[in-house]
């Protein structure tokens, strides 16, 4: 399997990204194609790679910055790492593309270069996350700030197929994120989406409040990209603040505690690991005719390696084929 990796994407690129690619090639049994500026990649590669790993470099002299307007950047930078990485997937020279770069540029680029699955209006960023009972899928996490009810219906349909194929859930529970459980609650978009989901033939459990998202009441939680991105970043910030507070409390009280400091540290590390975004590494761009994984902009080498691992799992388990088959069955 060959995974194209945007070596220039993310706050810690290229060093951490290249290292993540090296670790993935060494540990996960995949070939990694580093896409980016050769003069920036080669020093990182030479310092860590023994030359025997299945790693290659595709030159992409241009870089799309996080603050650039995606549509303009893609048009004016056709030799960017994002464009060239997506082209590798389009041409069948890579099985998946992973990037921690501009989410907007990756999303718009994938939409224009790879296109959407037939019948899908817009792709959605589908994020797997930990709950008290296992894993669930949250979408849209930021690809579409403005949505229509039909788009949210498609997110639910694609998310349900995705969870069936990747996790073997026969009839995934689908919830609609709302400010209350009652059917009459919410804005016009949510109320109209609720009506569509009731008649869609899905295992629709109704509205899900924010407090229930992490309790595992649903296998798929659907919302628009604006709400989803705000909820995602609020969750990240809150979890980081909580874990930092726990660390500080442990550090100040460990001297008087009867519990072993190493035991406390081990428990905390395990707890953080189960909720940390770096454990999974990325989110799937659902609805695109190609496997595209969007990694966190703050990704370190571990997160990049895990994002590549997630891409490998997605390809191996045929998530794209399941979505294509599902779309074909509706024609």
- pLDDT at residue 65, rounded to an integer: 94
Residue 271 has pLDDT above 70, yes or no: no
- pLDDT at residue 262, rounded to an integer: 59
- pLDDT at residue 257, rounded to an integer: 57
| Dihedral class, residue 287 (left if φ above 0, else alpha if ψ from -120 to 50, else beta) | left
- pLDDT at residue 233, rounded to an integer: 86
- CATH number for the domain spanning 87: value is 3.40.718.10
- pLDDT at residue 85, rounded to an integer: 98
- pLDDT at residue 92, rounded to an integer: 96
Indicate if 48 and 115 belong to the same structural domain. Answer: yes
Is 262 part of a structural domain of the chain?
A: yes
- pLDDT at residue 279, rounded to an integer: 55
Residues 14, 8: contact at Cβ < 8 Å?
yes
Dihedral (CA of 278, 215, 244, 248) sign: negative
Indicate if 142 and 273 belong to the same structural domain. Answer: yes
Residue 211 to residue 214: CA distance in whole angstroms? 7
Domain that holds residue 60: 1-120+287-331
Residue 103 has pLDDT above 60, yes or no: yes
User: What SS3 state is found at 217?
Assistant: coil
- pLDDT at residue 323, rounded to an integer: 87
Indicate if 115 and 190 belong to the same structural domain. Answer: no
Residues 60, 37: contact at Cβ < 8 Å?
yes
- pLDDT at residue 240, rounded to an integer: 77
Instruction: Pick the range with the lowest mean pLDDT from 9-13, 67-71, 263-267.
Output: 263-267
Mean pLDDT of the chain: 88
User: What SS3 state is found at 166?
Assistant: helix
Residue 41 has pLDDT above 90, yes or no: yes
Is 282 part of a structural domain of the chain?
A: no
Six token digits for residue 162: 């995705």
Residue 125 to residue 143: CA distance in whole angstroms? 6
Domain count, the chain: 2
Residues 6 or more apart whose Cβ sits within 8 Å of residue 63: 8, 36, 37, 77, 80, 81
For residue 263, what pLDDT band results from cuts at 50, 70 and 90? low
Residue 289 has pLDDT above 90, yes or no: yes
Indicate if 99 and 168 belong to the same structural domain. Answer: no
Residue 293 has pLDDT above 80, yes or no: yes
């Amino acid at each position: 399997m060959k995974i194209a990796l945007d070596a220039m994407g993310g706050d810690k690129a290229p060093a951490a990204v290249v290292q993540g690619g090296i670790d993935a090639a060494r540990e996960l049994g995949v070939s990694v194609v580093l896409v980016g500026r050769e003069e920036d990649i080669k020093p990182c590669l030479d310092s860590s790679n023994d030359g025997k790993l299945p790693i290659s470099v595709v030159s992409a002299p241009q870089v799309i910055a996080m603050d650039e307007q995606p549509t303009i950047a893609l048009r004016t930078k056709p030799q960017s790492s994002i464009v060239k990485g997506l082209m590798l997937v389009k041409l069948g020279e890579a099985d998946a593309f992973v990037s921690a770069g501009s989410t907007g540029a990756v999303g718009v680029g994938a939409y224009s270069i790879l296109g959407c699955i037939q019948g899908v209006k817009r792709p959605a960023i589908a994020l797997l996350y930990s709950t008290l009972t296992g894993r669930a899928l949250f979408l849209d996490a930021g690809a579409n700030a403005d949505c229509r009810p039909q788009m949210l219906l498609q997110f639910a349909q694609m998310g349900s197929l995705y969870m069936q194929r990747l996790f073997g859930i026969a009839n995934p529970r689908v919830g609609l994120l709302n400010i209350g459980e009652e059917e009459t609650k919410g804005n016009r978009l949510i109320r109209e989406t609720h009506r569509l989901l009731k008649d869609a033939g899905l295992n629709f459990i109704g509205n899900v409040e924010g407090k229930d998202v992490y309790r595992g009441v649903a296998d798929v939680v659907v919302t628009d990209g604006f709400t989803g991105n705000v909820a995602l970043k609020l969750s990240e910030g809150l979890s980081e603040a909580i874990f930092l507070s726990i660390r500080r409390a442990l550090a100040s009280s460990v001297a008087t505690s009867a519990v072993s400091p190493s035991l406390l540290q081990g428990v905390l590390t395990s707890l953080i690991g189960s909720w940390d975004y770096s454990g999974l590494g990325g989110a799937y761009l659902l609805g695109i005719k190609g496997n595209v994984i969007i990694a966190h902009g703050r990704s370190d080498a571990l997160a990049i390696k895990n994002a590549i691992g997630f891409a490998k799992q997605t390809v191996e388990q045929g998530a794209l084929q399941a979505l294509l088959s599902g779309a074909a069955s509706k024609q």
